[in-house]
Amino acid sequence: MYYRRYLKKLKNKNMKLAIFGSASGTISLENQHLCKEIGEYLAQKNITVVTGGSRGVLGLVVQSAFEAGGKTEVYSPDKDGGAHELRRDSFSLEYFTSHKFIPGLTARSLEMIKNVDAALIINGRIGTLSEFTMALEEGLDIAVIKGTGGIADHLEYILSVAEKEFSSKIIFETDYKIAIEKLFN
């Protein structure tokens, strides 16, 4: 699996980055600004933004990347577009250039993790923690933006008590540009 990701990086300049974070509608002004900057930066770098299709920090990054001309991809936990649009925390499919529907939150997250090159964590709650641990077990490289609140600010501690080594590259950084560069270099 690791070799397959490495070959993809060599062949394909359009990398895919999963964004994990809180789907909550309450986002600090600082995180709103950060998400907008991250989306624009990823569009400039020709990195496809991949999310589970929820609002919150995820939706802000997607919207920003999409409006900056970037590629965006959704792995929705719903059976189709109609069901996706009816979910209370879903982000409109109009902001995604590619749609995949994998029913079920865990199935969706695992499929997304298997089909991206790395992940970036901003803020987050229990779902973000779940995606973080699945990504670690699957060997996905991950960057965590420290200081964004939520579970992101506790992941270093969680790893310290987990007492397990992982093959993944795990980056804890306050500057998103440095974090993304470390992920892809």
What residues contact residue 163 under an 8 Å CB cut-off, 6+ apart?
none
131 in a structural domain: no
Q: Are residues 105 and 171 in the same domain?
A: no
45 in a structural domain: yes
Q: pLDDT for 87-145, tens place per residue?
A: 989 999 999 999 999 999 999 999 999 999 999 999 999 999 999 999 999 999 999 99
Give the chain's domain count.
2
Q: Are residues 103 and 43 in the same domain?
A: yes
The whole-angstrom separation of Cα 146 and Cα 94 is 30
Range of the domain at 143: 120-125+138-185
The larger pLDDT score, comparing residue 83 to residue 11, is at 83
pLDDT at 4 over 50: no
- Altogether, the residues listed in the chain come to a count of 185
180 in a structural domain: yes
Average pLDDT over the chain reads 92
- Kindly report the number of other CB atoms within 10 A of residue 154's CB atom: 13
Q: Are residues 80 and 164 in the same domain?
A: no
Q: Among 116, 150, 174, identify where a domain stops.
A: 116
CATH of the domain at 89: 3.40.50.450
Q: Are residues 83 and 1 in the same domain?
A: yes
Report pLDDT for 167: 84
Report pLDDT for 6: 52
Q: Are residues 41 and 102 in the same domain?
A: yes
Q: Are residues 155 and 103 in the same domain?
A: no
132 in a structural domain: no
Q: pLDDT for 46-65, tens place per residue?
A: 999 999 999 999 999 999 99
29 in a structural domain: no
